[in-house]
Structure 1
Amino acid sequence: MTGKGGTGKSTVAAALALALASTGKEVLLCEVEGRQGIARMFDVEPLPYEERRIARGLPTHGVSPGAVHALHIDAESALLEYLAMYYKLGRAGKALDRFGVIDFATTIAPGVRDVLLTGKVYEAAHRNARNKNARKYDAIVLDAPPTGRITQFLNVNGELAGLAKVGPIKGQADTVMTLFRSPRTAVHLVTVLEEMPVQETVDGISELRGADLPVGAVIVNLVRPRDLGVADLEAVRSGDLDRELVTADLQAAKIDVTHELVDSLLAEASDHAERRALEDAQRRIVQSLDVPSYELPRLASGIDLGGLYELAASLKEQGLS
């Protein structure tokens, strides 16, 4: 899951994980940006570098809900695990961490950092008898970096071309790419109906396709209520909205009507009509992208665990699960 900052990609990733769990799947929800966003959304303690069950899916008639497990992946812990796995360093690896070598390595070579982060996701997707006592998942949802960096983040072997042409790191990058370019992966993009996020979505889809990475769907988030019908919107835009009719409706609702109140409501209606016109123009662009699109409402009460379940139910009803 990717998207321009501020579009709610982390929220949508969490909602998708819950929607998948509601179909009976065991789901792993991963984050790689170091903000502990999953912990805040699900109101749990900050996540360590280990998998924790944090929620169950929505109860569904005839289907036992699965669970959502979460994993906070950081490059330093992933590198220590990598060193222990490939070089049997064990305590020596932790000593390197104390000397700051790990931070140095992942700072000067961002491509290596991304290989480590994505490599952990790959490991979770390919567990077998060698991964003793490790949980197997039906689906993995990755709360990935924003759209502006998503192709670079996922195209790890391309980013390593000038750094490592052979060796374990290069081998791991090539292996990860077999997953990211396979039909098992879909990169979903989150946007809102504003010009800059939609344009970044258009550009992101083009870049992903240029790197042979599979584009999934566009999820339009924070959609405002459509309170006025088409005829009323046209009347507002043309200035033909019947002021007397508005006054009569207010009086029928037993509201004390003043000229100031009616003027204020008509001004609000004008702003709403203008906003709807802009949103409809951006919606047409999204619908022209030749990818499936879904919409999620702006929740008046904000996002808490109940709100996540509400969004999950909407995604499930629309078929994205």
Structure 2
Amino acid sequence: MSTPTIRDTTRDWPKVELHVVTGKGGTGKSTVAAALALSLASRGKEVLLCEVEGRQGIAQMFDVSPLPYEERRIAAGLPDEDGNRGNVHALHIDAESALLEYLAMYYKLGRAGKALDRFGVIDFATTIAPGVRDVLLTGKVFEAARDGRKKGTSSKGGQHYDAIVLDAPPTGRIAQFLNVNGELAGLAKAGPIKKQADTVMTLFRSPRTAIHLVTVLEEMPVQETADGIAELHAAQLPVGGVIVNLVRPRDLNADQLKAVREGTVDRQGLADDLTGVGLEVDDALIDGLLEEGRHHAERRQLEDRQRALIEEMGVPTLELPRLPSGVDMGGLYELAGTLREQGMA
């Protein structure tokens, strides 16, 4: 078997139209997807942010009502250098609604399709055939990405988007989710659903797509990221970048961290510095600060090891800080600005 050609998207992210964001649970995948959408909108682009996991995570992050199965404007980007700003629209995609739309478009089953839904046939079909479910979910993303949008669907009568951000399933399932042709191999060898899968794969494997993996500087997420990159490469799907999220401040240099770890910090010098800013200092305070510092230094050492492993993956890397006050709309805009500064948008 020949080795698939891997496309390096380092230089053409601004030209990418579909950004797929995945990551291990707990790494902030959905937050990064939302920040990326805002970052693109801050370049004056009209952006569609899609979710497929049924959690209404977009509505919660942007503090809006639960999203229906239709596109809805939820936020504006920050103004760019020329004062222009784009908008973020959102779409909550569920397989049942996508199948009803599919039946109406290709088989003209309007009311009949809704009757099937009432009898639970649609839920049954998408449950026993997860490959079909993924084709329906990804097919809706493809519909949003193509030119000449059809009227009469949830597509807002032909709304054009400059970029689409997909908050995708976790890293452990991303290659399977996107490689819909492989999933359908034993289910459908011909017919409309197979044709749709083939069409979707032309987008996913094209220069128009980049798949970004979100991780944190911990052993299991980093290993899962490495495994995910290998699986995407094997499926000939284009890897974009690794986004390291929740990065702690790096205020201490290597020598200072070493001194804290080894217990060679100048206690009297530390006490004098604290006294100089008006604090009352005793041994208990110094002991507590040094203990906290030791934990921080040890944590930084572990994180640096994981950072080195990420660098060995040979994939462009970006970093997002841990926000002290958590992620609200202000925090999303801050993260969006950080992504823009690093060339993501």
**TM-score, length-scaled by structure 2:** 0.92
Shift of residue 63, structure 1, vs aligned partner: 4.3
Contact 1:236 1:270 in 2 (8 A): yes
Q: Equivalents in 1 of 2:99, 2:228: separation in Å?
A: 29
Per-residue CA deviation, residues 45-94 of structure 1 (Å, 9 max, x unaligned), is: 00000000000111122141110000000000000000000000000000
Q: Equivalents in 2 of 1:228, 1:242: separation in Å?
A: 15
- Give the SS at the match of 1:186: strand
Gaps of 5+ in 1: none
What amino acid does structure 2 have at the position aligned with 1:67? Answer: N
Q: Among residues 211, 230, 234, which one is paired with 1:187 in the alignment?
A: 211
Moved more, 149-158 or 120-129: 120-129
- Give the SS at the match of 2:242: strand
Q: Equivalents in 2 of 1:239, 1:130: separation in Å?
A: 67
Per-residue CA deviation, residues 3-29 of structure 1 (Å, 9 max, x unaligned), is: 000000000000000000111111000
What amino acid does structure 2 have at the position aligned with 1:83? Answer: L
What amino acid does structure 1 have at the position aligned with 2:124? Answer: F
What amino acid does structure 1 have at the position aligned with 2:144? Answer: A
Number of the residue aligned with 1:94: 114
What amino acid does structure 2 have at the position aligned with 1:28? Answer: L
Moved more, 104-113 or 125-134: 125-134
- Give the SS at the match of 1:226: coil
Shift of residue 287, structure 1, vs aligned partner: 1.4
Number of the residue aligned with 2:344: 320
List aligned pairs for 1:21-170, cutoff 5 A. Answer: 21-128=41-148, 130-131=150-151, 133-170=157-194
Number of the residue aligned with 2:18: none
Moved more, 26-35 or 53-62: 53-62
Number of the residue aligned with 2:31: 11
4+ aligned runs moved over 4 Å, structure 1? 129-132
Shift of residue 144, structure 1, vs aligned partner: 0.1
Gaps of 5+ in 2: 1-20
Per-residue CA deviation, residues 229-282 of structure 1 (Å, 9 max, x unaligned), is: 221111112221111111111111111111111100010111011000000111
Q: Among residues 296, 301, 305, which one is paired with 1:277 in the alignment?
A: 301
Aligned residue pairs total 321
Number of the residue aligned with 2:334: 310
Number of the residue aligned with 2:196: 172
Per-residue CA deviation, residues 162-185 of structure 1 (Å, 9 max, x unaligned), is: 011111111111110000000000
Moved more, 284-293 or 14-23: 284-293
Contact 2:103 2:109 in 1 (8 A): yes
Number of the residue aligned with 1:223: 247
Contact 1:23 1:63 in 2 (8 A): no
Matched, 1:238 2:258: no
Once the two structures are aligned, what percentage of the paired residues are identical? 74
Contact 2:138 2:200 in 1 (8 A): yes
Shift of residue 131, structure 1, vs aligned partner: 4.2
Contact 1:31 1:71 in 2 (8 A): yes
Matched, 1:204 2:224: no
> In the superposition, relative to structure 1, how do residues 129 and 220 fare at CA in structure 2: closer, same or farther (>3 Å)?
closer
Q: Equivalents in 1 of 2:149, 2:94: separation in Å?
A: 25
What amino acid does structure 2 have at the position aligned with 1:119? Answer: G
**TM-score, length-scaled by structure 1:** 0.98
What amino acid does structure 1 have at the position aligned with 2:77? Answer: G
Q: Equivalents in 2 of 1:38, 1:262: separation in Å?
A: 44
Q: Among residues 272, 286, 291, which one is paired with 2:315 in the alignment?
A: 291
Q: Equivalents in 1 of 2:147, 2:320: separation in Å?
A: 33
RMSD (CA atoms): 0.9
